[in-house]
Amino acid sequence: MGGSTVQAASSSSSILSQSTVASQKNGAKEVAVIDTNNTDIGNVDVSQLTVKPIAPTTIAGAAVLIDADTGEILFEKNPDKWMHPASTTKMVTLLTALEKKGTRLDELATVSPYAVSMEESNLGLRVGDQLPLEAVIEGMMVASGNDAAVVVAENVSGSVHNFAKAMNEVAKKAGAKHSHFLNPHGLTQQGHYSTARDLAMIAAYGMKYKMFRDKVANDYYTVKYQNRAAETVRTTNLFIRNKYPGANGLKTGYTEAAGDCLIASATRDRHTMIVVLLNDDDRWTDAPAFLDYGFEVAALRDK
């Protein structure tokens, strides 16, 4: 914005102590604040103004933007409202499996009839299939396989019921206060809910660990079975497929009750931003807009 000037109209009312000047920078909306009590606003040097990005708006039922490094919430809309999380639940399933199994992901997992009975979306597992637990986890995260999520739960904790207990423990450890998980896949179930703030907290907690980061960022994965030919699956996450600069996760979700959901993460210039969008028909355009806003805020702080 250099040394250009801007004309700002003053007000005769003493109530108005500030005027704002809107500007455009790299396509992002910004506002500069002028103290009209202490400034001659007839001819203001714009280069001396403090420019603050304006947060985007969203039609989402609930949304949170978090700086994963500091834990600061940069934007919130209905952050503590109970919402159906749909398949964003699988992020909690992943974190729980990693917390319980650690690096022992090469153990063979067996597919049960119950796992195969799950509603779509599914990885296409068959009863009796055996494959490394890591491959099941990858299939759950990349293809959003509900069948894979059940296999993870059964092979880590013995049953979905026991695994759900572990999910709630891990969620609380990550800072969640208003969530209750009953299944590992996110299919609609009474009493299974979370909030935008809780999901943001859990995502930020998980992104501190390399193994978690590795599992939420994949575009493709080839599932190798013990008893049949390998199959390659592609992510359901258009945020990753569209290659937003710095994109490194996380998880999509959809059910009729939940609507379109997305947790999106990106890292730039040593800053990681995570946005949670629940029941948002505009999730693919909202996510980049909010992340751009977060990085603009971080850049100003770094100056």
Query: What single string gives the DSSP state of each residue in 107-161?
Result: SEEE--HHHHTPPSS-----TT-EEEHHHHHHHHHHS--HHHHHHHHHHHHSSHH
Residue 275 lies inside a defined structural domain of this protein: yes
Same domain, 192 and 229: yes
Residue 14 lies inside a defined structural domain of this protein: yes
Both tokens of residue 90?
């699988």
| Active-site residue (options: 90, 157, 194, 251) | 90
Same domain, 86 and 42: no
Same domain, 239 and 169: yes
| Active-site residue (options: 23, 25, 52, 87) | 87
Same domain, 97 and 29: no
User: What residue numbers bound the domain in which 182 lies?
Assistant: 62-104+165-302
Same domain, 216 and 290: yes
Same domain, 214 and 257: yes
| Active-site residue (options: 144, 179, 194, 265) | 144
Look at the alpha carbons of 156, 158, 160, 165 in this order and tell me if their dihedral is positive or negative.
negative
Same domain, 75 and 27: no
Residue 44 lies inside a defined structural domain of this protein: yes
Cβ-contact 207, 274 below 8 angstroms:
yes
Residue 132 lies inside a defined structural domain of this protein: no
Percent of the chain's residues with pLDDT above 70: 83
What is the rounded distance in angstroms from the CA atom of residue 288 to the CA atom of residue 290?
Answer: 6
Q: What is the pLDDT of residues 35-68, one digit of tens each?
A: 545 555 555 566 556 678 899 999 999 999 999 9
pLDDT of 225: 84
CATH of the domain at 67: 3.40.710.10
Q: What interhelical angle do 146-157 and 160-173 show, nearest 10?
A: 90
Three-state secondary structure call for residue 286: helix
Backbone angles phi, psi at 158, to 5 degrees: 90, -25
Rounded alpha-carbon distances, angstroms, from residue 220 to 7, 229, 253, 283:
53, 17, 18, 21
Verify whether residue 90 is a known catalytic residue. yes
Domain tally, the chain: 2
Verify whether residue 144 is a known catalytic residue. yes
Same domain, 66 and 100: yes
Both tokens of residue 249?
């996760």
Same domain, 38 and 70: no
Same domain, 47 and 71: no
Q: Over range 156-183, report the average pLDDT.
A: 97
Q: What is the pLDDT of residues 170-222, one digit of tens each?
A: 999 999 999 999 999 999 999 999 999 999 999 999 999 999 999 999 999 99
Both tokens of residue 276?
């949670």
What is the rounded distance in angstroms from the CA atom of residue 189 to the CA atom of residue 179?
Answer: 13
Residue 139 lies inside a defined structural domain of this protein: no
Residue 154 lies inside a defined structural domain of this protein: no
Residue 80 lies inside a defined structural domain of this protein: yes
Same domain, 45 and 170: no
Strand order across the beta sheet in which 51-53 lies: 18-25, 28-35, 51-53
Stated pTM of the model: 0.84
Three-state secondary structure call for residue 226: coil
Same domain, 225 and 249: yes
Q: Which residues of 1-17 are buried (b: 16+ CB within 10 A; e: fewer)?
A: beeeebebeeeeeeeee
